[in-house]
Structure 1
Amino acid sequence: MYIKLYQYHIRPENEQELMLIQQEAGQIYRKYIAVQTKILKSRIDETKWTELNFYKSEDDYQNKLPLINMDPDIPGLYKRFQSILISDIREEDYEECH
């Protein structure tokens, strides 16, 4: 299993907008690829969020990402997401160990 981790900060008043963006983006992603997403909010820092996306394999992710990025709704969603960020996005790649 291939896992993408994203960490970022948003203002607490933008939490509902983040959830709407995540819901819409998730629907688009699932049209092209099997993905499970977990969204975590820090209990210590109310602005800090962690997103975990689980994919079958890195190859599957890399092969489907161009299709996802070509979806006409993705640029607008990403722009909305960027508008609520108050930090850079930290991105890391992981693999599941058995």
Structure 2
Amino acid sequence: MFVKVYKYHIQNDKVNEYISIQEKASEIYGKYLDFKTTYLQSKEDNTKWMEITKYKDEEEYQKSINLINEEEEIYELFKAFQSLLSSEKQEINEENFIEMKAMNQC
């Protein structure tokens, strides 16, 4: 699996807006790709978030992302997302991974 990991800081009072934006963006992504996203909020710094999205493979992701980026609403949602970033920490860190193994024990 191809995995995208994003790290960023969201203003404390904007979490509900953040979740709403992510839900709308997921609907658009879902038209083009099969994926699973997990959103994690840091216990030490509640403005810090990590977003982990798994895709079938990188080729499918690359083919579809251009179509997704052509959607007008995706651009508007990204602008809205950027407005929620913490004023002290505006950066969005992005990394790519390959999932080598997944294990479940609950």
TM-score range, shorter chain: over 0.9
Aligned-residue offset at 1:71: 1.1
- Aligned residue in 1 for 2:5: 5
Partner of 1:54: 54
* 1:35 equivalent in alignment to 2:35: yes
Are residues 1:89 and 2:55 paired?
no
**What secondary structure sits across from 2:72 in the alignment?**
coil
Task: Name structure 1 gaps, 5 residues minimum.
Answer: none
Amino acid at match of 1:88: E
CA distance in 1, matches of 2:32, 2:61: 10
Runs of at least 4 residues of structure 1 off by over 2 A?
none
Across the two proteins, how many residue pairs are aligned to each other?
Answer: 98
Take 2:19 and 2:39, find their aligned partners in 1: how far apart are those partners?
A: 9
Greater helix share, structure number: 1
The one-letter code of the counterpart of 2:92 is I
2:20 and 2:45 mapped to 1: Cα distance? Answer: 21
Q: CA deviation at 1:72?
A: 1.8
Distance (Å, rounded) in 1 between the aligned partners of 2:42 and 2:13: 15
TM, length-normalised to structure 2: 0.90
Aligned residues: CA RMSD: 0.7
| 1: CA distance, partners of 2:36 / 2:72 | 22
Q: In the alignment, is residue 76 of structure 1 matched against residue 87 of structure 2?
A: no
Q: Which runs of 5+ in 2 are unaligned?
A: 102-106
